[in-house]
Amino acid sequence: MKREIAVGFFVLGTMLMMFFYQNELLLFGLMAAGTTVALALDKWKNLKYFFIAMVVGGICENIAVFLGAWDYANANYLFTPLWLPIGWGLSVVLLEELFAGNSSVSFSKTSVVLAFGGTLCVGFSYPDELGILLSFMLITVILFALNFYKRQEFIIGFCAAFFGTAMEFVCISTGAWTYSFAWFGTPLWLPLCWFNAFLIMRRVIRFGEMPPAIPKAI
């Protein structure tokens, strides 16, 4: 997918959430239709990635909302709106198309543990905004030091953090969802949350794939 098209779908999804969040079923239909078009444009090559991100991201979000970390303005069937898992799946696919390029990673069981561990950390500690921020800073440094994150992924994570935080900022401003504890409406730890969430999800969605081949020295 061309980058300008991926940006267009990301902006479109943000606008749909901003203007239609009060009608859960309508937004679910619009998000589903937009996602179908986005996946079809790439001849469904990202369908598996979308599905895994939708399931894992949706479960993590429902856990966090159940624990009280944030709340959606209109969720009538689950802890989160029905459209939320679709938004998660599409966001991961679009960010991968936008920023990942040739930076390949492989599935890791650790990534699944980190995904749910980070969710529980926020869910149980959300009143301590600075504590979560410092925890995310520490875990980010450790994961780079252990080479779990590759050095070339820093820019990828930074871009995902910028896009994700910007999307959330405008949606929070329109009332689509609110965080239970945030000094400025948007939590201080949110950019690092997006940074880590995307780099972790890059590994989660590659479940069942063979690790990338390492070129042999000549």
**Could you report the per-residue pLDDT of 160-192, keeping only the tens digit for each?**
999 999 999 999 999 999 999 999 999 999 999
* Percent share of the chain, pLDDT over 70: 94
Give the pTM: 0.92
Residue 96, in any domain of the structure: yes
Residue 143, in any domain of the structure: yes
**pLDDT tens, residue by residue, 26-54:** 999 999 999 999 999 989 999 999 999 99
The pLDDT of residue 212 is 56
* Percent share of the chain, pLDDT over 90: 87
**pLDDT tens, residue by residue, 125-137:** 999 999 999 999 9
Q: How many distinct structural domains can be found in the chain?
A: 1
Domain carrying residue 167: 3-204
Tokens 């990635």 -> residue: 49
Residue 215, in any domain of the structure: no
Instruction: State the virtual CA torsion across 155, 87, 166, 122 in degrees, nearest 10.
Output: -80
Residue 213, in any domain of the structure: no
Look at residues 168, 40, 26, 7 and name the one whose alpha carbon lies nearest to residue 83: 26
